[in-house]
Amino acid sequence: MDRQRLVNLLAAIAAITVFGFTLGLMFPLLSLLMEKQGIPSDIIGYNAAMQPLGIVISVFAIPFTVRRFGAKRTVIGAAILTAAVIVTYPFAPVFWWWFVLRVMQGFFVSVLFAISEAWIVKFSAGPYRSRILALYTSILAASFGGGPVLIGFTGIDSPAPFIIGAIILVAATAPIFFVKDEAVDSEDERPLSVIGFAKKAPMLLFAVGMFAIIDAANLSFLPVYAVKKGFDQEWAAFTLT
């Protein structure tokens, strides 16, 4: 594997690390904060649903954004905007602004995830692909578990987890500046719209959708359930790790 391909893969893994860490931090942190303030469980659920809504919206924006600004600039911009959203949470009213922020967070994080996964698939071509994909999956899981660990150290009673999380997020994007992706579309490749893909693989999308629903429910309510069972907030966050 040549050096530039390795650099590109490291950058892609850094971007996916940002995705995992952000989800692992924000799902329990926001749920625990709302539960502590006495917000009903149904409102917590509605708020958590805003992040997947942002992800769905991003599907239609990512192709245009990548064509307009390039994949590298798009990823860097999405990481910075995600960090800005995270820092805004502790200074914004909960009930309404957090709904807007969750949509924005889902949108920007989805951009990181989609492009970084595309990079990993593209740059891992060759005899080491299976090992690279296994490494990528392991790092994604570890980064996801790192979010609740941060809550265990900082607690939820100050802006510290938001600020530290945003700093880590921005720092993890540093390798992306070294990416060189000069790919040109092949004449043999045909563009496929989102609707076109849905027609070709409806069962795949259904399975992914069901997994996403169950996963989001667990991420949002497992820490709240742990608190109601007598755990303190920091240990409740560890249930997701």
Please name the residues in contact with 81: beta carbons below 8 A apart, sequence gap of 6 or more. Answer: 104, 108
Both structure tokens of 227: 């608190």
Cα distance between residue 32 and residue 38, in whole Å = 10
Better-predicted residue by pLDDT, 114 or 195: 114
pLDDT band at 86 (very low <50, low <70, confident <90, very high): very high
Give the residue among 2, 19, 12 at the shortest CA–CA distance from 147.
Answer: 19
**What domains, with CATH codes, occur in the chain?**
3-238 (1.20.1250.20)
Q: What is the pLDDT of residues 115-142, one digit of tens each?
A: 888 888 888 777 778 888 888 888 888 8
Q: What is the pLDDT of residues 171-213, one digit of tens each?
A: 878 888 888 765 544 445 566 666 777 777 778 777 877 777 7
Mean pLDDT of 40-46: 86
- Count CB atoms within 10 A of the CB of residue 182: 5
Task: Find out whether 98 and 162 touch, Cβ atoms under 8 Å.
Answer: no
Both structure tokens of 12: 């892609």
H or E element at residue 106: helix 97-123
